[in-house]
Chains A and B, each alone.
Chain A
Amino acid sequence: MSTGPGAISDPAFPASSRRPDAIKAIPVRHPWRWVAAVVVLAFAAAVIYTFAAAPGLQWSVVGTFLFYPEILRGVLVTLELTAIAMLIGVVLGVILAVMRLSANPVVSSVSWFYIWFFRGTPVLVQIFFWFEIGSILPYIHIGIPFTSLMWIGTTNQIVTPFLAAILGLGLNEAAYMSEIVRAGIISVDTGQTEAAQALGMTRVLVMRRIVLPQAMRVIIPPTGNETISMLKTSSLAYIATVGELFFIQKEISNFNYDIIELAIVASIWYLAMTSVLTFGQYYLERYFARGASRQLPPTPLQRFRRLLFHAHDPVAMGPFEPPPVYAPHEERRL
């Protein structure tokens, strides 16, 4: 299928000989749109100016601390927390979702109970719980049953603040992820499972090769959402004294009293990180849409190029564009 745009017509009837010229009409004027745009812009500008030009705000302080080594280290820890907690969330979430759909009533009840518990208590409390676990469980024994092999350590040695935050964030996330994964699994047509079973595939194989790859299309958008949410929720790790972005900026402002300035520094970094994630999610979705939609949506870059070079070309911009047949693994030509 290497045919390009315009290939929908029958080759026996060349389109050019029959298709009349595109209609060139004078567009309808929309004066109120302009009025609305001006009002909204003016209001937005006023709000931004009020804050940006606030007499007590020292932008120079924001500039000084934006790339301060401690702040950068905080950014790194935030990214670590997010990545590890999401990894635990996704892996455990898939396991919980499969358990939830299991035919074994004990297994599915355990999953239900887990979700009920971890979704029903605040993350902040959960992080705090792990952080303080040493006070009720001073020692941890790890041994192999029926042997004398045994390892004992103090809980505070093992459950560091970072691990406490990871446990709190990750275990909580797993509860949410499992519901997302379950929704994805349920969304796959049962005919797919039947066809795979009819070919002799085992349950595990059906899940891994047929159902989960198709469930990904439903799973990815909310997972991206969760990751972005996790990036910000990780700031709760400050309660466990983990040196992530929020904790660091708070430490600095406790010292120099430039509270708003440092909050702005942190906000800029959070915004930057979530922006990158949003971008990544878009490409991930495109990848898993293969075979699902005939025509993949253009990437932001392609859309931008099209806006620049084809803004006045009704064929490239407007609804007249014939749907080109999408060839797999081949960039759509403009």
Chain B
Amino acid sequence: MATPMVLAESVHKCYGRLEVLRGIDLTVAPREVTCIVGPSGSGKSTLLRCINHLEKIDAGRLSVDGELVGYQQRGDKIYELPDREVCRKRAEIGMVFQRFNLFPHMTALENIMEAPMRVKGEPPKAVEERGRSLLDRVGLADKVDVYPNQLSGGQQQRVAIARALAMQPKLMLFDEPTSALDPELVGDVLDVMRGLAQDGMTMIVVTHEMGFAREVGDSLVFMDGGVIVESGHPREVIANPQHERTKSFLSKVL
């Protein structure tokens, strides 16, 4: 089997005395779409943030594409990664947020071009071309010079996806990408994500969209209280949940 894109072994994370992740084991293979569901406060977002080096884990092992997250192993000693290395690794992972977090002082195209130019130092011309084709891909070719606050939530989220893709990441993390959207705008965003999955992008999606999870997901993970309660193929988990907590959660969201 190839190196898993994400490998978590007994991952623990505390905020002060509150233990948010209490032993997560998870394997995500390349080109696989993993959907994570669960009640709020179950640690889903924290897990994503750990994978993207936005948080440091306290115990266990977490690696992305074969490399430890936030740490470096030399011999039998573990070293903290310096900031510059952390930034380099984050640049390889795309992340999409619930609240979009577009840069409001930049146009859609400038939002997309910022990181490839400043972080990777790519030439502006090539980046602009890629930016325009990415905006076209998410269906916003006519919004190139528009500032975020003139876009609807769904349009903003699609720009945010294009912004993450512009870095040509090997892994995309979605943190409840449709939770802040009006119901009629959710479809467009999910369409873009579906297209990404079809193109073979490795994705981890924290979501409440069970339809999307069933249709696009290769595996479904149900988290509660900082642990993975149940995981498996989406159709099986949804049709035939094994645990009481999974059953009661699914009965509420379906």
Contact = CB atoms under 8 A, between A and B. Distances in A.
Nearest to B143: A1
Interface string A187-229: 0010110111111111101000110011000000000000000
Given A194-B101, A291-B104, A202 B150 contact: no
B106 interface: yes
A328 B104 CA distance: 13
A203 B114 contact: no
B90 interface: yes
B87 interface: yes
A201 B104 contact: no
Contacts of B89: 200
A12 B102 CA distance: 32
Interface in B21-80: 52, 54
A195 B163 CA distance: 10
A283 B249 CA distance: 54
A294 interface: yes
Contacts of B87: 197, 200-202
A198 B104 contact: no
A119 interface: no
B88 A200 contact: yes
29 contacts: A1-B146, A192-B103, A194-B54, A194-B97, A194-B101, A195-B103, A195-B160, A198-B90, A198-B93, A198-B95, A198-B97, A199-B91, A199-B119, A200-B88, A200-B91, A200-B120, A201-B115, A201-B118, A201-B119, A209-B114, A214-B103, A291-B104, A291-B149, A292-B104, A292-B149, A294-B150, A325-B150, A326-B150, A328-B145
Nearest to A201: B119
B52 to A, nearest CB: 6
A291 B107 CA distance: 8
Interface of A: 1, 189, 191-192, 194-203, 205, 209-210, 213-214, 288, 290-294, 325-326, 328
B119 A200 contact: yes
Contacts of B103: 192, 195-196, 210, 214
B151 to A, nearest CB: 10
A208 to B, nearest CB: 9
A291 B105 contact: yes
B90 A292 contact: no
B161 interface: no
Contacts of A205: 118-119
B147 interface: yes
Interface string B2-32: 0000000000000000000000000000000
Nearest to A191: B101
B217 interface: no
Nearest to B147: A291
B164 interface: yes
Nearest to B114: A209
A292 B105 CA distance: 7
B234 interface: no
A191 B97 contact: yes
Nearest to B102: A195
B134 interface: no
B146 A209 contact: no
B115 A200 contact: yes
A118 B94 CA distance: 45
Contacts of A194: 54, 97, 101
